């Protein structure tokens, strides 16, 4: 694997066994991410984005998924490469949360309601780094300050329900980044947030990524968000990566009809300027 590469996925296929037979959720997916780079994984509901994300550390196996083929290679901060498919559980456990961290759409389901924010960040620190309690608290505080939560000291002793949605997502980011992961997987992290809060969280992720030279896999269905954060884009449809190109190419010269139809259907702010009445979307020919 190339020196700069943090993640390389080759021919990944994931099956789910259901009552009505086997469903292939991901089919021969292949992509890579370099250090400091953001790859956006886009597609509509059910296209296999989240399954792909959870497969990277084999967490999908706890959700009933089976990785039937493929090769997943990670590079940790120390430079070691990890072959995910052949790693024993013990290794995977230390990879999850340390080398690869996740943040999800709904921070409320990821945070434990009966522990304070400080305890939860402390737990995340304790899992991967051995530190005396005073150090842990100091690091937790530093992380909250890094995600720009005001009055961080006071927030350490508050419970998740006492925080707003935007603050909870910041706390989640603090937890995810306390072990300086090589790869951050952000699965629709701003989808449930209001636009003004979304803008803040997107900027925060971009800033911390730069500071930590972190690779980011950013999963979203929002092409506006893609244009704001991505270096490269992988478009998924029905479990397949149909196109993977630089963000400029995807927006200016998409090769696939499906990518074009996705782009055609986004409402673009400002596209209506000069027109007095409402206007229909151009309907593309591509099958949905």
Partner 1 sequence: MSSASGKALKDDGKVLLEVRNLSVRYDVGKAMLGKPRGRIHAVEDASFRINAGETLALVGESGCGKSTIGKSLLGLTRPLRGEVLFEGKRISGLRRTSMKPVRRNLQMIFQDAFASLNPRMRVGDAIGEPLVIHRIERGGSRSMRVQALMDRVGLESAHLRRYPHQLSGGQRQRVCIARAIALNPRLVIADEAVSALDVTIKSKIINLLLDLQREMGLAYLFISHDMAVVERISHRVAVMYLGRIVEIGSRQQVFERPAHEYTRKLLDAVPVPDPKARRPLTHLEMQELPSPLRPPGYEPEPARYEEVAPGHLVAVNGAD
Q: Are strands 183-187 and 100-103 parallel, antiparallel or unpaired?
A: parallel
Q: CB-wise, 130 or 279, nearer to partner 1?
A: 279
Of 63 and 248, CB closest to partner 1: 248
CB of 215 to partner 1, least distance (A): 19
Binding site for partner 1 (CB under 8 A): 44-45, 148-150, 164-167, 170, 194-200, 202-204, 206-207, 221-228, 230, 247-248, 251, 261-281, 283, 288
**Phi and psi at residue 230, to the nearest 5°:** -85, 145
- Residue 217 pairs in a beta bridge with 39, 185
CA–CA separation, 191 vs 121, rounded Å? 23
DSSP secondary structure, 3-32, as one string: TTEEEEEEEEEEEEEETTEEEEEEEEEEEE
Would you say 134 or 274 has its CB closer to partner 1? Answer: 274
Q: Give me 3's structure tokens.
A: 């020196």
How far is Cα 221 from Cα 10, in angstroms, rounded to an integer?
23
- Report in angstroms how near the CB of residue 199 gets to partner 1 at its nearest: 4
Q: Smallest distance from the beta carbon of 257 to partner 1, in angstroms?
A: 12
Q: Beta strand pairing status for 38-42 and 215-220?
A: parallel
CB 208 to partner 1: min, Å: 10
Q: Closer CB to partner 1, residue 29 or residue 204?
A: 204
Residue 151 C-beta: closest distance to partner 1, Å: 10
CB nearer to partner 1: pick between 51 and 72: 51
């Amino acid at each position: 694997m190339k020196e700069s590469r943090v993640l390389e996925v080759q021919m990944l296929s994931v099956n789910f066994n259901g009552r009505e037979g086997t469903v292939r959720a991901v089919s021969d997916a292949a992509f890579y991410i370099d250090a400091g780079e953001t790859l956006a994984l886009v597609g509509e509901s059910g296209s296999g984005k989240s399954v792909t994300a959870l497969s990277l550390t084999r967490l999908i196996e706890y959700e009933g998924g089976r990785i039937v083929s493929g090769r997943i290679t990670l590079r940790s901060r120390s430079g070691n490469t990890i072959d995910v498919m052949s790693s024993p559980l013990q290794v995977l456990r230390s990879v999850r949360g340390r080398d690869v961290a996740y943040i999800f759409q709904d921070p409320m389901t990821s945070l434990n309601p009966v522990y304070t924010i400080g305890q939860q960040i402390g737990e995340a620190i304790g899992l991967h780094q051995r530190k005396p309690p005073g150090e842990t608290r100091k690091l937790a505080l530093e992380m909250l300050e890094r995600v720009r939560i005001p009055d961080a000291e006071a927030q350490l002793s508050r419970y998740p329900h006492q925080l707003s949605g935007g603050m909870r997502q910041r706390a989640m980011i603090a937890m995810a980044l306390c072990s300086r992961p090589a790869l951050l997987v952000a699965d629709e992290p701003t989808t449930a947030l209001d636009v003004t809060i979304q803008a803040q969280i997107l900027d925060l992720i971009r800033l911390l990524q730069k500071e930590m030279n972190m690779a980011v896999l950013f999963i979203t269905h929002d092409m506006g968000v893609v244009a704001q954060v991505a270096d490269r884009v992988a478009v998924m449809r029905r479990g397949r990566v149909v196109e993977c190109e630089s963000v400029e190419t995807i927006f200016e010269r998409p090769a696939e009809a499906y990518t074009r139809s996705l782009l055609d259907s986004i409402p673009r702010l400002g596209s209506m300027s000069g027109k007095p009445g409402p206007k229909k979307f151009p309907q593309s020919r591509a099958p949905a």
